[in-house]
Chains A and B, each alone.
Chain A
Amino acid sequence: QQKVQQSPESLIVPEGGMASLNCTSSDRNVDYFWWYRQHSGKSPKMLMSIFSNGEKEEGRFTVHLNKASLHTSLHIRDSQPSDSALYLCAASWQGGRALIFGTGTTVSVSP
C-alpha cells in the first residue's frame, strides 16, 4: 500500500523565522507531490504542488523535490501567526486513483 510519511509531527517557529517540513513517499512511481494547508476547524486548501526535480517558489513558500530519494520539503520563510496550521503532504502516482495523504505537521508560529 502506498504511504506518505511526514516529519516532524509538530513544529514551533518564532514569528519571522523559517519553518521546514519534510515528506517522503513509499513508492518510487510517485507522480506529483502536493502540499495542503488546513487551519483549525477548516477544510484543507491546496498550497503548492511539484512534479519535477528542483525548487519552486511562491511568495514566502518554497518547495523542493528530489525524486531519486522520493523526498519533498516545504519551507516557510518570515513565518506569520496566520501560518499556524496543519500542513498535509500528499502524493499521486502514475496510474493512481486518488491522492494519499500523510499524517501532517502542525506548525505553530509564536509572536
Chain B
Amino acid sequence: EAAVTQSPRSKVAVTGGKVTLSCHQTNNHDYMYWYRQDTGHGLRLIHYSYVADSTEKGDIPDGYKASRPSQENFSLILELASLSQTAVYFCASNARSGNTLYFGEGSRLIVV
C-alpha cells in the first residue's frame, strides 16, 4: 500500500502567524498534491508538483505557497494564516497525472 504521511495531524494557529504543513511519501511517485477540504466543498486543489524544485498553482492558490525540495517531500506554507484557512488539508501522490491518488491522513488546521 502506498504510503503518504502528513505532519502535524492537527494544529491550532493564530491569525497572522506562519503555518507549515509537511508531507512525505515513500511511493517513489513523481506527482504530489495539496488539497483542501471544507464541509460542502469536496476537495479543492491548492498546489501540485510533478518534479522536485518545481511547483504549480492549482485552483485556489491564493494565500498559500508550496515547496518541493525533494521527490519525497512536499510542504504547504501559510505565511499569514487567516480565519478562512481553517480546514482539513490532504496531501496526495501518484505516479503520473491521471493515475490513482494516494492520500495522507489529513492535517486539521484551526486558525483562531
Which of B58, B103, B105: most chain A CB closer than 10 A?
B103
| Total A-B pairs, Cβ < 8 A | 53
Contact A98 B45 (CB under 8 A): yes
Contact A101 B43 (CB under 8 A): yes
Cα–Cα, bound, A29→B33 (Å): 22
Cα–Cα, bound, A69→B101 (Å): 25
Classify the interface of chain A: helix, strand, loop or mixed: strand
Name the B residues within 8 Å of A96 (CB-CB).
Answer: 97-98
Q: Which residues of B from 25 to 69 have beta carbons under 8 Å from A? A: 31, 33, 35, 40-45, 48, 50, 56, 58-59
Q: Which size class do B's interface residues fall under? A: 20 to 34
Cα–Cα, bound, A101→B59 (Å): 11
Name the B residues within 8 Å of A104 (CB-CB).
Answer: 42
Contact A46 B45 (CB under 8 A): no
Name the A residues within 8 Å of B42 (CB-CB).
Answer: 6, 88, 101-104
Name the B residues within 8 Å of A46 (CB-CB).
Answer: 100-101
Cα–Cα, bound, A23→B97 (Å): 20
Q: Is B90 an interface residue (CB 8 A)?
A: yes
Q: Which of A34, A43, A102 contacts B90 (CB 8 A)?
A: A43
CB distance from B111 to the nearest CB of A (A): 20
Cα–Cα, bound, A32→B99 (Å): 9
| 18 contacts across the A-B interface (CB closer than 8 A) | A32-B98, A34-B100, A43-B104, A43-B105, A44-B90, A44-B103, A49-B100, A96-B98, A97-B48, A98-B33, A98-B97, A99-B45, A99-B101, A101-B35, A101-B42, A101-B44, A103-B41, A103-B42
